[in-house]
Amino acid sequence: MSSVLVIGSGLGGLLAAVRATDAGHRVVLVTKSVLPESNTRYAQGGIAAALFRDDSVDAHVLDTLRAGAGLCDPGAVRVLCEEGPARVRDLIRFGVDFDRDESGVARGLEAAHSRSRVVHAGGDATGAAVEAALVATVRRRAAIEVREHTMLVDLLVEDSGAVSGARIFDPDGVQRSLEADAVILATGGAGALYTHTTNPPVATGDGVAAAWRAGASVTDLEFYQFHPTALAVPGTPLVSEAVRGEGAVLRNQLGERFMLAEHPDAELAPRDVVARAIARQMEWQGGAPVLLDATGLGREKLETRFPTITAACRAAGLDWAVEAIPVAPAAHYWMGGVETDAWARTTLPGLFAVGEVARTGAHGANRLASNSLLEAAVFADRSVRALDQPWPTRTEGHARSPVSPFSHHFDQATRSADLSYALVELVETATGSSSADPATLVDRRTLQQLLWDYAGVHRSGAGLAAAAANLAEWTAPDPASTAVAALEDRNLLDLARLLVTAALAREESRGAHYRSDFAETRPELARSVSQARSSQPRPQSLELVPAQEAIAC
């Protein structure tokens, strides 16, 4: 029996805590806000899994690989799709009441899926249903020690490089250490990097930043998915892709349906395609949002299938049963994160990562719709199954065996000849002293606008260089701060530098990463950008790592 510290209370963290407790481990679960608050709670579309007779694991695998634009790890994708159905059944046993129809469990079609395989709950409230069921399950496990309003500050790392716990900021306003035999990061994404996001305010990338500062490898950070359709009103509430799956169409301000000319799948094209097409239309329209026309679905369908979106429209004074509603892209999901193997193990012994904080390789350059909750469930389960396993050695990692299928990253990484030390130096100041000059202290709103303008849906070398120059001039708040906002800003500055560095290094367009100065996909760059702090004089290394058996799509 070991002591396990789980950080985060979305699907990944909650399920990991339950599984670890049931396996006999001592579990402490900490979360920055209240237990039910996470990105999971706001997920609308559903969970994709090959649960039906007219579907197959192979078809789900192929759809996922195609969406990933050549950067998926096929082994991770196979694990995701093969184990996904069992994890959905687990959620049903934990109390998630998926919607039903006359054939049994109801299912929907979303972009880039070749089958209708997305199961949902509460119409468009799948995440809320999953979160509620798992929170109730955690509450029933008296052995789980839950600490709310407790923020991760940094990881505790031994001289050997193993993670032995975390530095946390507790509700009493004090930083203290929590020791553990294993740490499972489940802290979610970092939508707060951008001005417009569908994420809740707690999504400030705390886990990715802390893992990087501890020396873990972080990978694919340039790939941030922008959901094409957030309601263009204050708060940017999500308008699920499932709405388009049910038949809604996109129109410009002239009422013209523009996606027919953009992609054979029109509104059901991959998310990056739709988001960029909307962004172009908005540019031609002087910044005005495009329109999502769901009037053809009828009021009863809209109110029954999409009650959450209906309520959001009503709150904004819109009636989407009789009028098209304004929508625009917003930062939604980070495909990159802390690099893991197929058992959620990171490059630091003792540290696991599950959910959006992790880069498992299952999403590649562009996540397939409704694979995110599935990934959190599958790899949370696997992380607990690996708790008592020996940590893979670097040599074992290359074999990608069932026990230790670790990434190629460790010994076979190769530095790209065209990566200059200027990119490396960009992030050096992220490790600087805490004696910040107040005149250059990072400002969150300015950072968010900077990334939105230069590292958002459309990017260019010149814009990214401008962002890099600005980021290099700012200093981070003192890590000993007792203000949550200051600690979050420290994380956001670290992550902004890392994201921009990766985006500058990727001189092509692939998946969710689009550069106007390198508008084509370059097959020779079907490699992941990995970044890790080094023990060398320079505190940052940046490598282009060949994708494992990369699939060219």
Q: Nearest to residue 341, comparing CAs of 219, 240, 244?
A: 219
CA distances from residue 157 to 17, 84, 181, 343, 429 in whole angstroms, order as listed: 22, 33, 12, 21, 21
Measure the CA–CA gap between 341 and 236, rounded to whole angstroms.
34
Of the residues 271, 345, 400, 490, which is catalytic?
271
Report whether 522 contacts 38 (CB < 8 A): no
Main-chain dihedrals φ then ψ at residue 230, nearest 5 degrees:
-105, 140
Residue 238 per-residue DSSP state: B
Report whether 474 contacts 500 (CB < 8 A): no
Query: What do you get for the CA distance between the two ends of the chain, in Å?
Result: 45
Report whether 25 contacts 4 (CB < 8 A): yes
Report whether 322 contacts 283 (CB < 8 A): no
CA 463, 221, 371: angle at the middle one, nearest 5?
125
Q: Which residues pair with 179 in a beta bridge?
A: 165
Percentages helix, strand, coil for the chain, rounded to the nearest 5?
35, 20, 45
Paired tokens of 100: 């039903």
CA 468, 353, 229: angle at the middle one, nearest 5?
60
Measure the CA–CA gap between 395 and 270, rounded to whole angstroms.
37
Q: Let me know if 271 is a catalytic residue.
A: yes
Q: What is the DSSP string of 24-83?
A: T-EEEEE-SS-TT-SSGGG--S-EE---STT--HHHHHHHHHHHTTT---HHHHHHHHHH
C-alpha of 454 from chain center: 20
Report whether 18 contacts 44 (CB < 8 A): no
Q: Which residues pair with 218 in a beta bridge?
A: 338, 531
Paired tokens of 471: 């980021």
SS3 287: coil
DSSP strand pairing (325-334 vs 224-231): antiparallel
Paired tokens of 453: 């303008």
Measure the CA–CA gap between 495 and 19, rounded to whole angstroms.
30
Measure the CA–CA gap between 498 and 490, rounded to whole angstroms.
13
Paired tokens of 147: 């600490």
Report whether 192 contacts 448 (CB < 8 A): yes
Which residues are tagged catalytic? 271
